[in-house]
Every structure is written in structure tokens, then in C-alpha cells.
Amino acid sequence: MLMSTLIAALQRARTVWIAQRFEMAEMFGFETRNKYVIRDESGQEIAYAAEQGKGLLALLARGFAGHWRTFELHLFDTQRQPVARAVHPFRWYFQRLDVYRRDDSLAGSLQQRWAWFSKRFDVLGPQGEVLLTVDSPIWKPWTFPFLSGGQEVAAIRKRWTGFGAEMFTDKDTFQLEYLDANLATDLRVLLVLAAVFVDLQYFERKANR
């Protein structure tokens, strides 16, 4: 199980906010490393997520390969202690994010699925079993419900950040609601990283060009 001060915060939380941090270079067309701050209902910071990889090659990959590129994200608590890491392999289709615990064991994965008129992906367990399904219809492009046995147990919603931020930067904010109070710890962490997956897959400007 993932052990951290973050875990206690996630177990108490009903709503979590995941906000991408603004980088000035984005105003001039440069794709910087993606960084996020995670807050609880009261607005208190409880965690951070940051894409790894510095240097020219990483910059070029972000600029030209977009969301298809290979990259790694690290999730930290407020004491900068690692909680989990997420690895995105290079893929042209059916994007995937594998999430590992602090001890490097697999906690689960996010796997995009084919769909005609919706954004669809699954939350998988460490054995590849489907834990939750997500199907976001075209008439609700900013809403991502997580279903288990046909019942909604969590939801991610993209929130409007203002005209300037939406038009000229990749700055996004997502609300994550835990609708089922009995969600397991690993699943709560997977859902936090699912918000990052949603951002990179569906809302990163380079990914949509």
C-alpha cells in the first residue's frame, strides 16, 4: 500500500483539485515540463506531480511528439517524499499510463480504449483487471465519470480557468470527486493521476494539433 502523509489526506477527502502550474515560456510557444499542484477541499496543498526529463532532447520531444512521447511523472507529498511514479510509453494509438508505488510495484494502469463518439479509457489493477471504466460523451467533453458495475464512484471535471489561460497556455484545472467513500487507497492515487492523464491526453494543446 502507498504510505505517505498524502494518503491520509486522500482517504479523508471527498473533493481534490488538480491544477497545472503556469510556465511563462508557454506564452511564447514552448512546451515546458508539466507540473501540477494537488489541493484538498479547503485549498490546502497536499501533493505535487511533475514530469521528469530536462534538457534539449526532452524539450524537443514535448514540442514535436506531444502526448505520444515517452515520459515519466513523479507524485510527491508536501514533504517532497515520493508517493508514486507514472510511466507513459511511446504510442501512436491507445495511450497508456502505468502507475508504480514507492516500492516500484505496479499499482495499476490507465488504458485508452477505442470509441466512436466519446473519450474512453479504463482503470486497470496490477493484474490487468478492469477496476473502473470511463466513457465521456461528446456532449459532455469536460466530464469524465468513473463507473464500477454501472455505478458512478468518482468523477473528474475540467474547470474553466479564464479566456487567456484557455487560449494561450496549457494551464488547466480539474476537480476530482470521490463519490464512493470506500474507494481503496491505490485507487484514490490512480484517480489523481487519471486527472493528469486526461489533461495530457485530451487537453494539452500540442496533443490536439
Amino acid at 125: G
Q: Tell me the three cell numbers of residue 114.
A: 477505442
What is the pTM (predicted TM-score) of this model? 0.81
The average pLDDT across 67-88 equals 85
Q: Strand, coil or helix: what is 56?
A: helix
| Domain enclosing residue 156, as ranges | 5-208
How confident is the model at residue 52, as a pLDDT?
67
CATH code assigned at 58: 2.40.160.200
193: nearest Cα among 32, 50, 8: 50
The answer for 55, left when phi > 0, alpha when psi is -120 to 50, beta otherwise, is left
Q: Give per-residue pLDDT as tens, 151-206.
A: 999 999 998 765 444 444 446 899 999 999 999 999 999 999 999 999 988 887 54
200: nearest Cα among 177, 172, 175, 176: 172
How confident is the model at residue 169, as a pLDDT?
44
How confident is the model at residue 168, as a pLDDT?
42
Provide the number of structural domains found in the chain.
Answer: 1
